[in-house]
Amino acid sequence: MCGRYVSTRSPQDLSGLFHVTDWRPDETLAPSWNVAPTDDVYAVLERTPREDDDGGSARRELRPLRWGLVPSWAKDPKIGSRMINARVETVHEKPAYRRAFARRRCLLPADGFYEWQPLKNDRTGRTRKQPYFIHPANGQVMALAGLYEYWRDPDVEDDDDPAAWLMTCAIITTEATDAAGRIHPRMPLALTPDHYDAWLDPHRENADDLRALLTQPADGHLNARPVSTAVNKTDNNGPHLLDEVTS
């Protein structure tokens, strides 16, 4: 799974990396070394002027979305806190994700992510969870495959009121490889740049074609280093969370 990650790049940097044509300075997010579920996160997505118009030309946006997908049919948006990840093996068929998989896909930029490994103390017999920061060895941004969804707040009468709509997202996960596989069996699925356009295209709806984009996660060596358990508390933030410690 992916329960925490790091996102510190500026919107200007991300706009250049992902060829974004539309982002709003008033939606700028602060860098975060401890992104947690229900936080607002940057997402790269493509939308047509009207999403029900298949002939419209899409524009590429950088938008803040809340991490934790709330299906359009949900009665309570709190369900999103439990829907931060979607498994690549079943994302196309699960009721909560299949509509978004067909039409509303995004990329979630990350510097890296955290996973926890149970470690047993031979002397006491107790087990503790050691956090690790896992990231590309070359320092490049990870483009995590994601989905986004709209949820309409029934308590807001006016459709044009921004408060009427909640945009949320989830990260697609896959079997872990490389350094991540030694720590946890699952990891977020990062796409290669040659798959960005196809993944973001809102007019591409063939499930088999889309799933083919997810069969080969982005190549590249991942490094993992043990970090302080300070990351366990969502209130803690800052670059010191990435400092290596003795596990």
Q: Enumerate the active-site residues.
A: 2, 115
Contact 84, 99 (CB under 8 A): no
Q: Which positions ≥6 away from 198 have C-beta within 8 Å? A: 204, 209, 213
How far lies 62's CA from each of 13, 27, 34, 221, in Å? 11, 9, 20, 27
- Is residue 192 within 8 A of residue 218, CB to CB? The reply is yes
180 with 115: CB under 8 angstroms?
yes
- Structure tokens that stand for 123 in this block: 């002397």
Q: Which residues lie below 8 Å from residue 122, measured CB to CB, with a gap of 6+?
A: none
Paired with 193 in beta bridges are: none
Residues 104 and 65: beta-carbon distance below 8 Å: no
